[in-house]
Structure 1
């Protein structure tokens, strides 16, 4: 334990050596049991793949290493102030250092929230000791057990395609733009398509399980991104998008099931999604765990209630 050192993440290239170190750390802590379903390696990959206005901000991500191996991570996602922490179970004594670092470097002008699993009593205790209080803002994780009876039907003329086939990034951009409610016509500029390509450029992405359901006219009507590595038993859904013109047709279920069944052939046994939407429960996902945002309490904002 005397070899533990803190350092900042090195972001010299998008998928450099530190990126891979964190992926291996997140795989390792979830290998025997998925203890951080809300922040698995796929979420890290999604974050690093996503271009930011200020890429240098990633250099403030905190890493704690023991003899060169990552044992703890404190990171933001798209903006400062909301922090995700993962700690190897044998290094929980680092929690105080992690909270202190998050206060100092990852807050948003003093405002800070850290998300904590509702069953992690030790982390809750340390957070409370440092002035954090739980809020009503939560993130829920659902789990799907892959079974032999999973099936779906596509409307006539609809087909499934994947990134391993002739993937159309303009169509992919279209379904993501419309599926997530962006205003106006989809931006099909060179810059936007480059952005979409970067989002799907991770060396850990598996093209065969990244699928879309295409309408008879060739439009991508629904899309499912699935993340899986053959060494694990679990896969992760992120993201799912359906064009509003094609909703209520079972296409999102078809996209998810097709991705999942393809991952099952590679060895996946279960699938996780960070969501509590009724849609996921309707197609077989079950509530798995809940994590709560704990907020750093500010004296001037305390309630008299």
Structure 2
């Protein structure tokens, strides 16, 4: 048996790769590996640019190959290598011995993407601090631990949802993208400046993702009818892993308890979908954020760091 890579094509491979990611998570809950909604967000996330078919090239499927029978026996890993050097790697725990070979291939791929004469580039992976096996592979290949990517906040699906209250004049409801686009974009831009490219077409595409439920796209509405805070709960229909992404409060409406309110409303509405677990990956590693998430039942299981090497 040997590991072989093949190209990824979204329409053909998305379901099988999603199934692989769900299975990996069920076997070994290391948050180095993508959860399925992180994969789907590459195409449907509203904060970037329109996904192009050519971007399938960044994803590769690694399969165990039977040399005798000349057949693939199943997916063992999925790699993502995006210019200039942003990388993710999800490996089945039974095949971690293949991780070194795959990382070396990805390293060469980063160099190819740079082209000749364009200088060095920082190649980076995100790794769960508890993922000792993968970290050892990266360290042995010369990668250095960099800055924190974020906390790993986990909430049991059977935890009780705390009560919340709203300041006078504020209400909570779910957003309706078709009619709320301007206010929706405005509040998210006030928190995340990097989503400057968000437009109505991208948001409408986002609403067709399998993880998206309109009733879980929660906003707090201020006295002036503008959106003051938001929390979207995404739930993968296969693994039932739910994530809160994104979460934020407009700077003009902070310290009013709105973040807790929209999170609690999201968690309450999530219950009918029976999530297997609720996660916030890459959560802000600040004391304020940690206190907030703890107050609504999350447990901080550690951090993820970038691991970086110049190639």
TM-score, length of structure 1 as denominator length:
0.81
Q: Distance in 1 between matches of 2:154 and 2:207?
A: 24
List alignment gaps of at least 5 residues for structure 2.
Answer: 65-71, 115-119
> Is 1:245 matched up with 2:252?
yes
Q: Distance in 2 between matches of 1:220 and 1:54?
A: 28
Per-residue CA distance 1:230-274 (angstroms, 9 max, x = gap): 654642111112222222111111111111111123213642112
Q: Distance in 1 between matches of 2:43 and 2:177?
A: 25
Equivalence map 1:220-299=2 (5 Å)? 220-229=227-236, 232=239, 234-268=241-275, 270-273=277-280, 274-275=282-283, 276-283=285-292, 284=294, 285-296=298-309
For residue 217 of structure 1, give the secondary structure of its aligned residue in structure 2: coil
Q: Is the contact made by 1:64 and 1:72 (CA closer than 8 Å) also made in structure 2?
A: yes
Q: Distance in 1 between matches of 2:177 and 2:107?
A: 46
Q: Distance in 2 between matches of 1:258 and 1:242?
A: 15
Q: Distance in 1 between matches of 2:5 and 2:231?
A: 37
Equivalence map 1:78-93=2 (5 Å)? 79-93=83-97
Equivalence map 1:62-141=2 (5 Å)? 62-66=60-64, 67=72, 69-76=74-81, 79-106=83-110, 109-141=120-152
- Change in CA separation of 1:23 and 1:249 when aligned onto 2, cut-off 3 Å: same
Equivalence map 1:155-174=2 (5 Å)? 155-163=167-175, 168-174=180-186
- Change in CA separation of 1:33 and 1:121 when aligned onto 2, cut-off 3 Å: closer
For residue 94 of structure 2, give the secondary structure of its aligned residue in structure 1: helix
Q: Is the contact made by 2:32 and 2:126 (CA closer than 8 Å) also made in structure 1?
A: no
Equivalence map 1:4-23=2 (5 Å)? 4-11=3-10, 16-23=11-18
For residue 26 of structure 2, give the secondary structure of its aligned residue in structure 1: coil
For residue 140 of structure 1, give the secondary structure of its aligned residue in structure 2: strand
Structure with the bigger percentage of helix: 2
Worse overlay, 82-91 or 240-249: 240-249
For residue 30 of structure 1, give the secondary structure of its aligned residue in structure 2: helix
- Change in CA separation of 1:156 and 1:68 when aligned onto 2, cut-off 3 Å: farther
Please report the RMSD computed on the Cα atoms of aligned residues, expressed in angstroms: 2.9
Aligned length: 287
List alignment gaps of at least 5 residues for structure 1.
Answer: 299-305
For residue 164 of structure 2, give the secondary structure of its aligned residue in structure 1: coil
For residue 106 of structure 1, give the secondary structure of its aligned residue in structure 2: helix
TM-score, length of structure 2 as denominator length:
0.80
Per-residue CA distance 1:131-174 (angstroms, 9 max, x = gap): 22223444321223453251111123322222579751222111
